[in-house]
Structure 1
Amino acid sequence: MNAIIGFIEKGKPFFNKLAGNAYLQAIRDGFLAAMPAILFSSIFILCAALPEVFGVTLPAELSSWLWRVYNLSMGIVGILVAATTARALGESFSRKLPKGMTMNVVSVMLASISGYLMLAVTEIDGGIDVTYLGTKGLLCSFIAAFITANMYKFCTLKNITIKMPPEVPGVISNVFKNVFPFSFSVLCCVAIDFISTQFFGVRFAESLITLFSPLFSAADSYFGLGLIAGAMAFFWFLGIHGPSIVEPAVAAAIYANVEANLMLVQNGEQASHALTVGFNNFIACLGGTGCTLVVPFLFMWLCKSKQLKAVGKASFIPVIFNVNEPVLFAAPIVLNPYFFVPFLLAPIANAVLFKFFIDVLSMNSFIYVLPWATPAPVGLFLGTGMAPMALLCAVVLIAVDAL
């Protein structure tokens, strides 16, 4: 075991570098910035859909209003993430520019939104198709943000701008300063969409979904779910925030699948997509990364060590709300060879069991997005539509983790 830990520690610099990748951090920070809108919309979807679980039919006008609020918030999340991701990446690039050079991150955001619309919007009958303005367009959000931030960085470094005389007020000069990078960014997105339309006959957003569908399907398999859950735990075992590395790679899928599940349930079908936001928050991270919900209670009730008992007493409340840093670093679990195997296997077991409940026992997967700090059993129960099977699933997961 010590040899394994030694090998892992040798690779830690690489993993630290991966965790510090500007693009992964931008996706993470972009989602965090857009999270208020996502949670806001989830409140209205809960109000609109949960009464039906208990056989209550809301008045048509009230139901229509609730769905309208949801559609006009979650339905444009692609636009929001395009802006917030571009801002996060632009700020990251701006901090590393030579002294005296700056990037206007507000202009970067606006250019990213414009570029995103070029990639995601299709005109129909004098209007637009909004299909890819929501979670289905998240991949386009990232591409527009990356193109825009890099174009602004390039133009800033090469001083490609419209220079105004010194007499012109600074506010006006800044307007003209951003004309070239804004134009180049948007035109680049226009060119990409044009190529997609000419060669594939569909808009870029649709072609991108088609291209990545096999990967999303693979990630939603037993192996894929286990790999995602295990990877988050593995990185945290090294002391690196695992979800910050893994979640950006599957961000587009986990949000799109929630909406897809909701549509399935509304059509009278099973919500069958396991890889969702709720899976990451309440299954793979039951009580925090590594599925540590039961660990503080085991420390308090079974351990003879006064130190571990104290750790259990101090950490059980945070862990209930999925904040497990106190137990990770106080026990410690991080880089502790005795905890390596259970810390890695518990999330994988949870992922496999959750998939089993969906595929074999026909339990619905997550159809709502809830705050990550919701106690995991409660999040599992509410997020899947309050089905009794979800309670059984929560009990089984906790029991397995305790073993």
Structure 2
Amino acid sequence: MAAMDRLNNILEKHFLPIAMKISSQTHIQSVRDGLTLSMPLLIVGSIFLIFGFLPIPGYPEFMSSVFGPLWKARILYPVQVTFDIMALFIAIGVAYRLAERRKVDPLSCAAISLTAFLLLTPFNIAHKYSDIVLNVKGIDLDLIGSKGIFVAILTGLSTTEIVKFAVEKNLVIKMPDSVPPAVSKSFSAIIPAMLVILSGLTLRIIFEVTPFDHIHNFIIAIIGKPLTILGGSFIGTFLAVLAAQLLWSMGLHGPNIVGSVMTPIWLGMMDQNRIAFQAGEAIPNISGSTFVFLASKLGGSGMTLGLTFFMAFFAKSKQLKEIGKMSFGPGIFNINEPIIFGTPIVMNPILIIPFIVAPLVTTTITYFGMKFGFIALTNGINVPWTLPAPIYGFLVTGGHISGAVIGTVVVLISCVIYYPFFKIYDAQKVKEEWSFEQEAKKDEEEIGEFETI
């Protein structure tokens, strides 16, 4: 107990202030919220991706006989307009969310950000066939998909800051009050839009005379590759999971804070897997958004499903039993705020140990299980995070039975880790409840004696 108290004091003194600053930082919050704009679309695209590659014998032949030989290409159209252009949604979403916080017109900022992002993206694509190079007019889908995520984020942030600067310096066209608000906002955006476009044009021209050719190549080389190496490694993933659990232990939403930094990296890696899966190539990455959820969040952050089960069906403490009953149902669907704050796990010197240790153990087992080929890699399908563990694991590994198995195994492992701590905490709560009951009885007896007198 004394050691845990010292650890809590260290975390509160040194780690918590930094975490609070990160979680409340405007730009990080805007990136986090802006990225969520693409999530529903990616989930919808994933549904069509699943139907395009169902691992059922005879399924391709059946679909071909019913819908023709082009059935797969047609069923994957929604994938192209979700995954392949995700950077466009991110450029819009990040600018919009930051504009809300900066108190400038969100819709104008979103539209300007999208324009600036496309301005920074080259339209002419060089395709080489044998010794012949063909220049094709069009946008490289790679650059408006996962490869364009970092440029989209930076464009969304910088666009809104330029608009905010223009508004503060009164560099806007103001219309009379009699003009409808929609028209007035349109005119107000002209000068800020011009500043953004000029900035984007300058950057594009500068990069065109460098070896990078365009800003996407620069960002990928300078930022994207190092962060991908970090986020894709076991150590990087392990530390990210550790940081998320430490933050949760102090009452902060760890996955949101860590995700603000790591989600762009993991999302890009997940999409690399999706592209390889569609092309029938070897999947390149172990880590990624769906891997992290499969490995460390089934049953909710902290892998608490086993704890809710023990509390609901084996707790002797009345308090824990009731909390367990309320939390077990949501826990099956990976929702566990009731048990995190109701038990509580936050700042609980007994339960934060398995709350931190369990996800680290399951992440380690899942990572190396995939590395050595015992478990199928996640293939880029992004399914709803509320799916129960075996179903989630089955789908994100492309319908591989090993995905369902590991989804079940990590939950069982977390049960083993939680059990001794549950017993200790349950016994402690039983003693507290007994003491409370004795004090209550004593108070009732004293009140009875007073009434008799």
- State the TM-score, normalizing by the size of structure 1: 0.91
2:408 aligns with one of 380, 384, 395: 395
CA displacement 1:241-269 (0-9 Å, x = unmatched) = 11111112122222222221123334444
Counterpart amino acid of 2:106?
Answer: V
Tell me, in whole angstroms, the C-alpha distance in 1 between the residues paired with 2:34 and 2:7.
35
Deviation, structure 1 residue 129: 1.8
Q: 2:185 aligns to what?
A: 174
CA displacement 1:263-301 (0-9 Å, x = unmatched) = 333444442412222123332212111111211112234
Q: 1:118 aligns to what?
A: 119
CA displacement 1:29-81 (0-9 Å, x = unmatched) = 1122332212221111111112x454521323321211112102222111111
**SS in structure 2 at match of 1:377:** helix
Tell me, in whole angstroms, the C-alpha distance in 1 between the residues paired with 2:145 and 2:56.
25
- Comparing 263-272 with 78-87, which one deviates more in the overlay? 263-272
CA 1:53/1:363 → structure 2, altered by over 3 Å: closer, same or farther? farther
CA displacement 1:151-176 (0-9 Å, x = unmatched) = 11111111112345677665544333
2:388 corresponds to 1:343 = no
Tell me, in whole angstroms, the C-alpha distance in 1 between the residues paired with 2:106 and 2:116.
15
CA 1:93/1:54 → structure 2, altered by over 3 Å: closer, same or farther? farther
Counterpart amino acid of 2:40?
Answer: P
Q: 1:75 aligns to what?
A: 84
Counterpart amino acid of 1:107?
Answer: S
Tell me, in whole angstroms, the C-alpha distance in 2 between the residues paired with 1:186 and 1:341.
52
Q: 1:43 aligns to what?
A: 47
Q: Does structure 1 retain, via aligned residues, the 8 Å contact 2:83–2:271? A: no
CA 1:202/1:254 → structure 2, altered by over 3 Å: closer, same or farther? same
2:225 corresponds to 1:222 = no
Counterpart amino acid of 1:46?
Answer: I
Deviation, structure 1 residue 378: 1.4
Q: 2:30 aligns to what?
A: 26
Q: Which runs of 5+ in 1 are unaligned?
A: 95-102
Greater Cα radius of gyration, structure 1 or 2? 2
Q: 2:296 aligns to what?
A: 284
Aligned length: 394
Deviation, structure 1 residue 362: 5.0
CA 1:314/1:200 → structure 2, altered by over 3 Å: closer, same or farther? same
2:274 corresponds to 1:262 = yes
Q: Does structure 1 retain, via aligned residues, the 8 Å contact 2:95–2:156? A: yes
2:358 corresponds to 1:358 = no
Q: How does 1:262-341 map to 2 (within 5 A)?
A: 262-341=274-353
Counterpart amino acid of 1:191?
Answer: T
1:253 aligns with one of 248, 265, 283: 265
Q: How does 1:122-137 map to 2 (within 5 A)?
A: 122-124=123-125, 125-137=136-148
CA 1:184/1:54 → structure 2, altered by over 3 Å: closer, same or farther? farther
Tell me, in whole angstroms, the C-alpha distance in 2 between the residues paired with 1:139 and 1:56.
38
Q: Does structure 2 retain, via aligned residues, the 8 Å contact 1:272–1:358? A: no
- Comparing 120-129 with 144-153, which one deviates more in the overlay? 120-129
CA 1:265/1:172 → structure 2, altered by over 3 Å: closer, same or farther? closer
Deviation, structure 1 residue 210: 2.4
1:195 aligns with one of 187, 206, 217: 206
Q: 1:107 aligns to what?
A: 108
Deviation, structure 1 residue 193: 3.0
Counterpart amino acid of 1:139?
Answer: F
Counterpart amino acid of 2:356?
Answer: L
Deviation, structure 1 residue 355: 1.1
- Comparing 197-206 with 223-232, which one deviates more in the overlay? 197-206
**SS in structure 1 at match of 2:297:** coil
Tell me, in whole angstroms, the C-alpha distance in 2 between the residues paired with 1:74 and 1:304.
49
Q: 1:2 aligns to what?
A: 5
CA 1:297/1:172 → structure 2, altered by over 3 Å: closer, same or farther? closer
Counterpart amino acid of 1:36?
Answer: P
Q: 2:395 aligns to what?
A: 382
Tell me, in whole angstroms, the C-alpha distance in 2 between the residues paired with 1:387 and 1:182.
49
Tell me, in whole angstroms, the C-alpha distance in 2 between the residues paired with 1:344 and 1:138.
30
- Comparing 145-154 with 251-260, which one deviates more in the overlay? 251-260
- Comparing 238-247 with 344-353, which one deviates more in the overlay? 344-353
Q: Does structure 1 retain, via aligned residues, the 8 Å contact 2:290–2:396? A: yes
Q: Does structure 1 retain, via aligned residues, the 8 Å contact 2:123–2:137? A: no
CA 1:261/1:7 → structure 2, altered by over 3 Å: closer, same or farther? same
CA displacement 1:111-149 (0-9 Å, x = unmatched) = 100111122343232222222111221111101100111
**SS in structure 1 at match of 2:305:** coil
Q: Does structure 2 retain, via aligned residues, the 8 Å contact 1:53–1:385? A: no
Counterpart amino acid of 1:245?
Answer: I
Q: Does structure 1 retain, via aligned residues, the 8 Å contact 2:392–2:407? A: no
Counterpart amino acid of 1:261?
Answer: N
- Comparing 1-10 with 142-151, which one deviates more in the overlay? 1-10
Counterpart amino acid of 1:251?
Answer: T
2:156 corresponds to 1:145 = yes
Q: 2:71 aligns to what?
A: 62
Tell me, in whole angstroms, the C-alpha distance in 1 between the residues paired with 2:319 and 2:183.
63
Counterpart amino acid of 1:33?
Answer: L
Tell me, in whole angstroms, the C-alpha distance in 1 between the residues paired with 2:354 and 2:159.
43
Q: Does structure 2 retain, via aligned residues, the 8 Å contact 1:161–1:178? A: yes
CA 1:350/1:197 → structure 2, altered by over 3 Å: closer, same or farther? farther
- Comparing 160-169 with 256-265, which one deviates more in the overlay? 160-169
Q: Does structure 1 retain, via aligned residues, the 8 Å contact 2:91–2:114? A: yes
Q: 1:89 aligns to what?
A: 98
Q: Does structure 1 retain, via aligned residues, the 8 Å contact 2:286–2:370? A: yes
- Comparing 106-115 with 212-221, which one deviates more in the overlay? 212-221
Counterpart amino acid of 1:199?
Answer: T
**SS in structure 1 at match of 2:350:** helix
